Structure 1
């Protein structure tokens, strides 16, 4: 339940400005409170006076027919309003390059330092364009805000827009009864507080360093996966083009058992990959997890909680691959089963859903660092190694690959939303590199996750500096 802020109570002036509306929505959304607070800041500038570029620096894009390609040489990474929340962009769809660079869509290429704002559906989600995203294109459902370097630093502008003040103002600008929308003209008048050059530069530098570390996280994981396949002698698998392999049509299977009678579980392409994995030194996944974890979490009645008391964030499949697990449900810790919490370096695999090309089923991430405090839904397959010599960080370098994804998706069971076949999972062959290679790959992954946590810390520090400056200026 939301209540009014006692430090900034609703006044009769507010009621008059809202036409004496007595419903709580305008007053408890935080937007009116934020606007009134910012009016007391000595200096604010209109957002449109601080941007430059296409359409004045605040724009989204035209609706267009999307043609995706499987050959990445003929496509460009394409961000949707949910994709932009992710931290690992390995699985992004690729838009046809000739369409992307056309006059109609060329301006949708994002630039490092831009602020991205979701502007259709779940309005107000934000992201900052990292250095490694310069070749990405974005959909018309993402609003781009490009800072004018002669007027304001991009990191500082992002910090304000993503702060509780900026976010409230942006979300309040949306329109629409069923599907919310946000257009460039709706935020041009947003008041942006201005402070000393020293403070704004410090906040900008923190945001920029966070973006650099997140790019390093991506690069580290990609390098670890390449190192894994090279170290186990299967470099050709890492370069495998799934869609160029012979399709599974009219094939014959011998030795079918009661384990499964489903044709998908005997996919020729997946069988060839599995045989290659088993051709080198390996262990079945069931053996690796014998004294660890291999299974999904518990189903339970979810009782809402509050962070100020005993609340814990429940991370579901949707948020599992985001840079930060926003929008998750806060539950009462006392009523959340302990099995919802997982050990350090547990691999979490999307285990329920539909097998769409860009879906979450079969994708993997790792729980470590600051993410250990969260609870996780039953929709994740938990993989925790029971062998000290095969750490979770080493396993992630393999499980995040497309090879692992395709094998997982050959293990589907169910008629509606698909699940992963428990019996087949136990026999999944996991290649083992030499001990020295294993240690090197493990450290690469662990450093990537340390970079991720440090990026979160720096971004939080930037937001805290901005919040303190606003509070002091309006005290």
Structure 2
């Protein structure tokens, strides 16, 4: 049980906050660490950065980008791939222009899940984001924007963000809380070092996204088929010959089925089962969470720009369950609830263990892993995967469903080119993660060195 003694000097400067969660938070301890740093402290408000929230608005969604503008919820901003497939009507664009994101902004989730910080690069431009997101338009006059982002996303910034949260069931913070956050005014050379790492990380992420989008465009242009309404009549022979004798309409007459039929009728293909040595997921198990262990990621965590989690499994449990580990160039597919989100394992993910709710795809040695990932992570691949989903309330897929997914075969030159694009994507994303992680580490290390006894 945590205890502490507070007085009026603790209450008055903090908007008369009297609740224990505020005064017993880790931010109090970390705040004392900041006090020991022998540099001037500056608030975000004093940096002349613009900080604002949007106003609540009624959303009018449309089907495609021809009639709409890409829309991001707060939870979408932390994803590695922000192409959510949701579009707001262009009729709303004029009145919501101020919610359009721009490059080099810092955005912070401020409702429900609080304190997730994102540095926007060019891929965020021309996206309208929810009103429920705090925007910071940095001003480099006193604090370099890369350093400001690294501080806010470090434990010192995160705890200041979450300390001031309010609300009962759904927690919130507002622009005033962000304006009041203080950070050390480190010398310019140090700020420049951190800023360079963040800027380079953002640039690499842009280039990686371009490579992935080009690979997806090549695949979707090659194998895409216009959605056309299929007959509602399905023969008994089709039902009998289907996997597990599926009887529901979605399996036989959906747009997903249309894509499946188009590929197997017009292209050479191999099933995913033919291209892999193994498709599996671990069994259900009781988790032993510890303070110091191996990072444990769920299906939502693996989709983040930098996959991470506060949950750690004990080394003992991981040793007993080696099937939780993953290896470079394996492909992960979410297989429960939200189905078909696909990730390729890089050096950062390889250090983590993954939930049993994520399917592991282990390609054969001779298979072009990048091409296989490009197909599965495209809209075409997502449709082919989700066609096999089962369940009513919580959809599921199993390994025997994924084994049936057809992977189109192109000429060797085309597949090698797409494979090269994915290799570029993986390499740049991995370096981008390393630079951002290093920037946060430098900030935390610089603060902690003044608190060593």
Same fold (TM over 0.5): yes
CA gap of 1:237–1:86, structure 2 versus 1, over 3 A, is same
Matched, 1:91 2:84: yes
TM-score (norm 2): 0.89
1:57-96 counterparts in 2 under 5 A? 57-96=50-89
Among candidates 262, 272, 279, match of residue 285 of structure 1? 272
**Runs in 1 of length 4+ with deviation above 6 angstroms?**
12-16, 21-24
For 2:161, the equivalent position in structure 1 comes to 170
- Structure 1 gaps of 5+ residues are 5-9, 230-234, 354-359
TM-score (norm 1): 0.85
For 1:377, the equivalent position in structure 2 comes to 355
Q: Conserved in 2, the CA contact under 8 Å of 1:112 and 1:134?
A: yes
Among candidates 297, 300, 303, match of residue 282 of structure 2? 297
For 1:319, the equivalent position in structure 2 comes to 301
RMSD: 2.6
Matched, 1:127 2:109: no
CA gap of 1:24–1:62, structure 2 versus 1, over 3 A, is closer
After TM superposition, the structure 1 stretch with the greater mean CA deviation from structure 2, 196-205 or 435-444, is 435-444
CA gap of 1:51–1:22, structure 2 versus 1, over 3 A, is closer
CA gap of 1:14–1:435, structure 2 versus 1, over 3 A, is farther
CA gap of 1:305–1:271, structure 2 versus 1, over 3 A, is same
- Structure 2 gaps of 5+ residues are none
CA gap of 1:342–1:163, structure 2 versus 1, over 3 A, is closer
Matched, 1:271 2:257: yes
Q: Conserved in 2, the CA contact under 8 Å of 1:305 and 1:333?
A: no
For 1:7, the equivalent position in structure 2 comes to none
**Corresponding residue SS for 1:125:** strand
**Corresponding residue SS for 2:356:** coil
Cα deviation 1:87-126 (Å, max 9, x = unaligned): 1123342222221332xx2211112111111100011111
For 2:394, the equivalent position in structure 1 comes to 417
**Corresponding residue SS for 1:63:** coil
How far the C-alpha of 1:35 sits from its partner, in A, is: 2.5
How far the C-alpha of 1:236 sits from its partner, in A, is: 4.6
For 1:36, the equivalent position in structure 2 comes to 32
Q: Conserved in 1, the CA contact under 8 Å of 2:231 and 2:253?
A: no
**Corresponding residue SS for 1:265:** helix
CA gap of 1:37–1:295, structure 2 versus 1, over 3 A, is closer
Matched, 1:237 2:223: yes
CA gap of 1:69–1:22, structure 2 versus 1, over 3 A, is closer
For 2:346, the equivalent position in structure 1 comes to 368
How far the C-alpha of 1:58 sits from its partner, in A, is: 0.9
**Corresponding residue SS for 2:336:** coil
Q: Conserved in 2, the CA contact under 8 Å of 1:303 and 1:331?
A: yes
CA gap of 1:14–1:432, structure 2 versus 1, over 3 A, is farther
